[in-house]
A and B are shown apart, each in its own frame.
Chain A
Amino acid sequence: MTTASEPAEQSTDEMGPLERWTHGVVNEPEKRKRLYRALFYVAAAFFLVTTLFPFYWLLVLALTPSGAITRGDWNVTVPLLGEIPFPTPQGFNVASFVEVFQQVPFHLYVFNSFVLATATTVIVLILASLAGYVFGRLEFPGRGLMMLGILAVSYFPPAAFLIPLFDAFLGNAVVVPFLGIELFEPPRLVNTPGSMIMPFSALFLPLAIFILTTFYAQIPDGLEDAARVEGTTRLGALFRVIMPLSAPGVATAAVLTFIAVYNEYFFSSIMALQNQPEQWSPLVGGILSYQTQYTTDFNLMAAASIVGVLPMLILVVVAQEKIVSGLTDGALKE
């Protein structure tokens, strides 16, 4: 024993500092714990900086008066490094948050996005619930193939739909390609919420279907049977028993859909012919309308972005609480 431990002790003295440190981390739980904690802080700090720095930058821009942004001096004196460029507020112009609403009716753009997102979420949840029930709880031939089809559709690039949809929503007759047979003449939907909600629902449906299918499939059959014997139809059992018990899944699908539509610009910028709130232009359209041919009010755009993000922030915090609570007390036993 002594002969075995002596050379080890001797070698500890001969080790370099790095070697001694690794040796300590491997052998001593106390040091290992310290290392893990340090690594956790490094990783957490990295994610916090990368996600929060853009917001900080937005805040700096919003608070800096418009003139100071373009000609301002962004250098900061740091000891040892000298002068380096880093965004710091050049003034404290809180008035820009008010001006945001004075220059354009920004609240109307926010309202548009809200209506579009809410309507799409409701439609998506209803349709995806029905589809999720069928895919998750019923056995029928071709189920796998249909699921695969939905998956395939969800991978189509949205731009592929854009031109035919725009053509149809302008009120032009839908024509069979090459044959020239006129099928029907759709109503002119551009500049109405319909032209946006319809493609949004189609685009975000597959994801919601997949989420809800997995959740609905986990509800025990006995509960549905019990509900049906007690007096509901299959549909009633879905909305009264299966959906409430899958609340975390429903909330996840709803939040994902809502945020995706709220942030959407590609379709809505084209379906709303101008950046006008009366034409159902969304939030992003509102932010861009601070830009004119000759001027760009960066401070107002930044302030508008912050104002636009706030409702989302509240929604996610509230929904997250719901999702977490749903996950913890959703101990599902029959």
Chain B
Amino acid sequence: MARVRLNDVTKRYEDIVAVNEMNLDIEDGEFICLVGPSGCGKSTTMETIAGLTKPSDGTVHIGDTDVTKLPPKDRGVSMVFQNIALFPHMDVYENISFGLRLRKYDTDEIDRRVDRASDIVQLEGMLDRMPNELSGGQQQRVAIARAIVREPDVFLMDEPLANLDAKLRVHMRTELQRLHKQLDTTIIYVTHDQAEAMTMSDRIAVINGGKLQQIDPPLVCYNEPANLFVAGFIGSPSMNLVRGELAANGLRTDHFDLEFAADGLESAVGDGVTMGIRPEDIYLTKNADSVDSASEVIEARTDVLEPMGDEIFVYLSLDDTSSEMMTSEEVSTASNQLLMSVDPDTVIDADESVSVVFDRSKIHLFETASGTAITHGIADLSSRPTAAEAEPTPTEAESGGQHE
């Protein structure tokens, strides 16, 4: 068990910088997820911690030792690989005990530990099978057993569930959480699946383009994304982002305006500001009673409905263009489209005029140029009460909802 510290770790290849001045401080016993789109450098970061690649710059500490120059075998880490990487010429027992046999443990000790590890991952009675006789989930469990049997300080998992089918993946997800509780070891987990990251980790490290974007608990990343990338990446479907311009009394966009006092913000009037709102924070005006601080009414046409069972995703068009040719990803960044979610029993039809309001406390503002978050929630920024506001908020000029 140990802390892991990355200090300005940079990995340069001939033509690209895979990891750029990464600083990570991972607490003892923490479950950290590194998430990001493919090719963002999360696996390279992981390999740097494991020692499979040497960083071009910076240092890696595990516990109190500087392991930057140590080979992988001396770092006290174990790793589960995306492609499982069981040794095909060894049976399950030999696979699990490989590391112990290399370290010359005596046979009784090896047997005891292998028994325990295979108990934890529920592999009893399969120790003499060959890897190719096992199912995908069983192979993955062998790989995990091989990693835990050495009782490492740090556990590295590089997309261990990526090759499993959807059902098994959800099952293994809970097993991994149970495992973390049981072992209480530091776990660093790489994934591009944000559902995995949200559900399992203590903190999420969002990485893009080799740079760390934000490292925070999952709900903080969700509710208070540090920048536009995190806002768009965390959450499914992703946040609606609408570009606009900051004015003295609010935000102007092509199709609607939001009123709030801009003088409490760090950005100057006239700056490009992007507004973000999650689909579940948009309400039909007739259902807006539950919203404490509703925004101005926005007129829109419904375009496409996607009933998911527990909710309906509604694509809203703010002008007359249709989103038919767009994916939900494109919708979330197009200024004339909004995606909202409504209760499944809502009476709503495609191609219908509706009026919607935003929950002002859930509106995020970002600087368009740098992407940095300005504020999360503009409920407390109201300058004057508007018609759509259910409860006019008394505070003025206080930017209490501001988080950085």
CB-CB nearest in chain A for B52: A225
Contact (Cβ within 8 A) A220 B89: no
Q: Which of B217-268 contact A (CB under 8 A)?
A: none
Residue B83 is within 8 A (CB to CB) of chain A in the complex: yes
Number of A-B contacts (CB under 8 A): 71
Given contacts A226-B79, A226-B81, contact A231 B102 (CB under 8 A): yes
**A90, chain B: closest CB distance, angstroms:** 54
Q: Which of B75-110 contact A (CB under 8 A)?
A: 77-79, 81-89, 98-99, 102-103
**A-B pairs with lowest CB-CB distance, top 10:** A222-B85, A230-B99, A226-B85, A334-B83, A231-B102, A231-B73, A229-B79, A228-B72, A229-B72, A231-B99
> Digit string of B155-174 for contact with A (CB within 8 Å is 1, else 0)?
01000000000000000000
Q: How many residues of A contact B (CB 8 A)?
A: 20
Residue B331 is within 8 A (CB to CB) of chain A in the complex: no
Residue A332 is within 8 A (CB to CB) of chain B in the complex: yes
Beyond A225-B50, A245-B88, list 12 extra A-B contacts (CB 8 Å): A220-B83, A220-B85, A222-B81, A225-B47, A226-B81, A226-B86, A228-B52, A230-B99, A230-B150, A241-B87, A331-B132, A334-B86
**B146, chain A: closest CB distance, angstroms:** 7
Contact (Cβ within 8 A) B84 A233: no
**A163, chain B: closest CB distance, angstroms:** 47
Contact (Cβ within 8 A) B50 A229: yes
Residues of A within 8 A of B132 (CB): 331, 333
Given contacts A222-B81, A236-B102, contact A230 B73 (CB under 8 A): yes
Residue B71 is within 8 A (CB to CB) of chain A in the complex: yes
Contact (Cβ within 8 A) A229 B103: no
Residues of B within 8 A of A222 (CB): 81-85
Residue A232 is within 8 A (CB to CB) of chain B in the complex: yes
Q: List 12 A-B contacts (CB under 8 A).
A: A220-B83, A225-B85, A226-B79, A226-B87, A228-B71, A229-B52, A229-B156, A230-B102, A231-B73, A331-B88, A332-B88, A333-B132
Residue A158 is within 8 A (CB to CB) of chain B in the complex: no
**A129, chain B: closest CB distance, angstroms:** 16
Residue A244 is within 8 A (CB to CB) of chain B in the complex: yes
Q: How far is the CA of A236 from the CA of B74 in the complex (A)?
A: 14
> Digit string of A235-251 for contact with B (CB within 8 Å is 1, else 0)?
01000010011000000
Residue A38 is within 8 A (CB to CB) of chain B in the complex: no
> Digit string of A315-330 for contact with B (CB within 8 Å is 1, else 0)?
0000000000000000
Contact (Cβ within 8 A) A230 B81: no
Residues of A within 8 A of B103 (CB): 231
